[in-house]
Structure 1
Amino acid sequence: MADHGLKFEIESKTVAEFRSLDKSGELILQPEYQRQAVWPVRAKVSLMETILLGYPIPEIYLAYETSPEGEQTASVVDGQQRLTSLLEFLNNKFPLDGLEDEKLSSKFEGMLFKELPDDVRQEFFQYRFPIRRLSNLADEFVRAVFARVNRVNMVLTEQELRNALLPGPFNDFLKDCAAHQISTVSGVFSGERRKRGGDLEFYAEVFGTCIFGLSNKKTELNERYDKISADFENYQDRSAEFLELLTLLSNTIKWVGRTRWSNIVDMFTLLHTSWGLRAELKSADHFQRMQVRELLDLFQRAVSERKRNGENGETDSLLESLATIVDMSAEEVEKIIEEYTSGVRNSSDLGSRRIRSQQLTLLLSRKIKN
């Protein structure tokens, strides 16, 4: 049996060798545990400048795996951003804009790789990266190395570390949530948040809240994540219900421009509140769902108006319309809106979360439980 202890071989590879590995399909830039490429162009250009100057670059970790048929692949454990940037430059995906070295800037500023002189490109291809080679290690060891290296370097978010260390059905479920149409139509996640796993973390926190109740995000998220991930089979039915709820809300809410539901805080409250009323929402007839649709639209508009201190002059009409739908007085509805809006401050605080969920539940339940 092979020894699966953590042993590293130190070697080096040229830019040309990395290009060949990529072209042959032997280089796996983004293993399942890796994050997406997130470097801005400025950082990519800085790396190319470093290579052109011949300065050293931190070592890259590669996990080699050889099949019984003799086929070999190299997965990038650490160095994905560097190698992705390198290959993009070789494929003329970005120019050398913003070079800091005056001599290089005077010669190559604004050039694509193909526009560099032949001798410069030839020398560029010969630049050597230091490599730490991991050979035929079990997947859990490779993931542990990935997490450890990145934790020490402080380059991964908490969710990116979870993705690396806790693969499996819970992680797959979170990806299904992130890929759901509600994530797109709501506009709740920025491109940067998605790249760093913020969408997965959001759904992990909401689902955990639906299962275990409201909490302070910072104190209990990791514990709940570990618990669900380790025993996801026990949560399989509820995960299916959660996805059904996402579909129901996606088809019910008015998605016109940015709404309150485009904010993480409000979307969190909407999902948690709706989960508690999911049986009623699911069994509601068409007329009730249309009224829920109108209620949620008027509610989010009233909250936005309240946060703007009524500068659009729509407060009274919104409160009156909302009061009519839920069969309450405008004064009662105004108090609910004020309470909810107060809970938007200190958004991750347990007390604020409780206030928001209580007030939205109060309105929604008036409509679907009557």
Structure 2
Amino acid sequence: MIHEGSIDINPPYQRDVVWPETKQIALIDSVFRNFFIPPVIFAVQQDDEGEFVRVCVDGKQRLTSIQKFFDGQIPHRDSRNKKTYWFKVPPSHHGARTEVPAALKKVFQDKKVTVVEYHGIAPGTEREIFQRVQMGMPLTAAEKLQAISSPWAQWISQLESKHIGHEEGLAEKLDWDTKRGRDFQNVTHMVFCCDGLPDEGLPTAQKIEKWMNREDNPTKQFQDDIDDVLRCLWVLATDSKYNEGFSKIPQRIAPVEFIFIGVLLYILRKETYEVKARAIYCLRHDIRQEFKDIRNNGLVGKAMWRIINSLRARPQDLLEAGQSGSKSKRRRQHDDDDDDDEFRPKPMRAIGKPVKTRGRPSK
């Protein structure tokens, strides 16, 4: 039913598969031995074609484990003789794996799992149930954030699906952590900072939760601007002409870097790709010169704002700095082939005041 689409185990608020294989195998043994397994909770909905779809509110890890056993991706390990048996054995593994006997396959297929179904509940209620019934591995801060039901949370979920989670999205094009809701969390923090301008906000758990639960809708202009930011980031990350901020700095993108790269692109949204590309390089270069440990804390956040204010002051200087840096580097290589230090741009003074953009609640 999962493969056919009649069971949806991946609603936006659900976390990734987090059970290790040992725990998945233990669940299969529990099914065989009739041990208690907590109920699976579904919210039953109708799709656009009138078909009923069961959305998994709680039980994704259990359902995934059972499906993986059926598909031959994990074995059953007999607790008595410690041998492993596979429900399905591909031809390439014949002789190397022992298949579950047909009689025991029938026994497993006939096992019952207790199910609780909710019909006609609102999305907000669905998310609230998810938050309340989590068992086993606790939710991370990112997963709790993803479970909030509000107009802003719904919009950010759409951003994540549109720009990050799909094939060829930013999850694949950038080297950064997207597990267990981290991508949703990073986009949320970035949007929070952009919405707060001209205040130089620093995202904390308390601030983000309060902000995310607001009942007004983001303005159409703000939605379009954030869409453009994420589209622009994809271009800058995938085009070799513009990806120096990622190709020349090999370290994995820290969450706080992703957040403030987005803020930087939002502030420079009227500039050219060349300016934005150079600005990203300078931001990552400068913050890594200042801190060895790039974490999302107050010190790093304040430094990010300081660097962004320098970069936004005279954006055209970024191109001149990049060009002169390339010439200087070529001269140094000509004079001394062993000296390949990269150009390090000088910080620029901030001038002028940024435009106020914070969205206000609807009256």
State the TM-score bracket (shorter-chain normalisation).
0.5 to 0.7
* Residue 341 of structure 1, aligned match among 291, 298, 303: 291
Alignment CA distance shift 1:146-1:257 (3 Å): same
**1:368 lines up with 2:316 in the alignment:** yes
CA root-mean-square deviation: 3.6
- Residues 358 and 264 of structure 1: CA distance in aligned 2, closer, same or farther (over 3 Å): same
Contact 1:303 1:341 in 2 (8 A): yes
User: For 2:302, which of 354, 360, 369 is the aligned residue?
Assistant: 354
Write the mapping of 1:312-331 to structure 2, written as runs, cut at 5 A.
Answer: none
The aligned counterpart of 1:317 is none
Is 1:178 matched with 2:187?
Answer: no
Instruction: Determine what percentage of the aligned residue pairs are the same residue.
Output: 19
Tell whether 2:159 aligns with 1:168.
no
Indicate the residue corresponding to 1:243 in structure 2.
Answer: 230
Q: How does 1:85-164 map to 2 (within 5 A)?
A: 85-96=65-76, 99=77, 101=79, 103-105=80-82, 108-109=83-84, 111-114=85-88, 115-150=99-134, 155-164=138-147
Cα gap change, 1:133/1:273 in structure 2, threshold over 3 Å: closer, same or farther? closer
1:59 aligns to 2:33 (yes or no) = no
What amino acid does structure 2 have at the position aligned with 1:168?
A: Q
Q: Quote the residue 2:346 is aligned against.
A: none
2: CA distance, partners of 1:244 / 1:22: 32
Q: 2 CA distance for matches of 1:364 and 1:71?
A: 52
Tell me if structure 2 keeps the 8 A contact 1:62–1:131. Answer: yes
* Corresponding position: 1:202 with 2:186: yes
Contact 1:64–1:73 (CA under 8 A) maintained in structure 2: yes
**SS of equivalent residue, structure 1 residue 348:** coil
Q: Residue deviations 1:319-357, cap 9 Å, x none? A: xxxxxxxxxxxxxxxxxx4xx327x56x33323311233
Separation in structure 1 between the aligned mates of residue 146 and residue 236 of structure 2, nearest angstrom? 27
Q: How far off is 1:87 after superposition?
A: 1.6
Per-residue CA shift, 1:46-91, capped at 9, x if unaligned? 1111122221111222334579x99544332211211121022112
Q: Distance in 1 between matches of 2:259 and 2:50?
A: 50
Q: Is the 8 A contact 2:43 2:54 kept in 1?
A: yes
Q: CA deviation at 1:33?
A: 3.9
Name the amino acid aligned to 2:175. Answer: G
Give TM-score scaled by structure 1 length.
Answer: 0.66
2:252, 2:16 → 1: CA distance?
A: 26
> Which consecutive unaligned segments of at least 5 residues does structure 2 have?
89-98, 319-363
Structure 1 residues 201 and 256: alpha-carbon distance in aligned structure 2, compared to 1, 3 A threshold: same
2:254 to 263, 266, 272: 263
Provide the residue aligned with 1:40 in structure 2. 20
Cα distance in 2 between the residues matched to 1:270 and 1:22: 38
- Cα distance in 2 between the residues matched to 1:56 and 1:33: 26
SS at match of 2:35: coil
Work out the CA distance in 2 between the residues paired with 1:77 and 1:47: 19
- 1:260-339 alignment, distance < 5 Å: 260=251, 262-279=253-270, 281-282=271-272, 293=278, 297=281, 300=284, 337=289
* Selected match of 1:253 from 221, 232, 243: 243
Give the secondary structure class of the aligned counterpart of 1:220: helix
- Could you say if the C-alpha distance between residues 211 and 245 of structure 1 is closer, same or farther in structure 2, counting changes exceeding 3 Å? farther
Provide, for residues 180-235 of structure 1, a one-character-per-residue CA deviation record: whole Å limited to 9, x for no partner.
7554333122xxxx2411111101101211221321423312122233x7412353
Higher helix proportion (structure 1 or 2): 1
Alpha-carbon distance in structure 1 between the residues aligned to 2:156 and 2:69 = 36
Aligned residues: 295
Task: Report if aligned partners of 1:178, 1:203 keep a CA contact under 8 Å in 2.
Answer: no
Partner of 1:81: 61
The answer on whether the counterparts of 2:225 and 2:266 sit within 8 Å (CA) in structure 1 is no
In structure 2, the residue corresponding to 1:196 is in which secondary structure? helix
- Is contact 1:188–1:261 with CA below 8 Å preserved after alignment? yes
Distance 2:248 2:291 in 1: 21
**Equivalent position SS for 1:127:** coil
1:94 partner SS: coil
Q: Distance in 1 between matches of 2:59 and 2:128?
A: 15
CA distance in structure 1 between the aligned counterparts of 2:231 and 2:53, rounded to whole angstroms: 39
Check the 8 A contact 1:37/1:195 in 2, yes or no.
no
SS of the counterpart of 2:54? Answer: strand
TM-score (norm 2): 0.67
Q: Distance in 1 between matches of 2:169 and 2:217?
A: 27
2:206 maps to what in 1?
219
Separation in 1, partners of 2:12, 2:258: 28
Measure, in 1, the Cα distance between the counterparts of 2:308 and 2:87. 56
The equivalent residue for 1:318 is none
> Residues 156 and 187 of structure 2 are in contact (CA less than 8 Å); yes or no, is this contact kept in structure 1?
no
- In structure 2, what is the Cα distance between the partners aligned to 1:276 and 1:46? 51
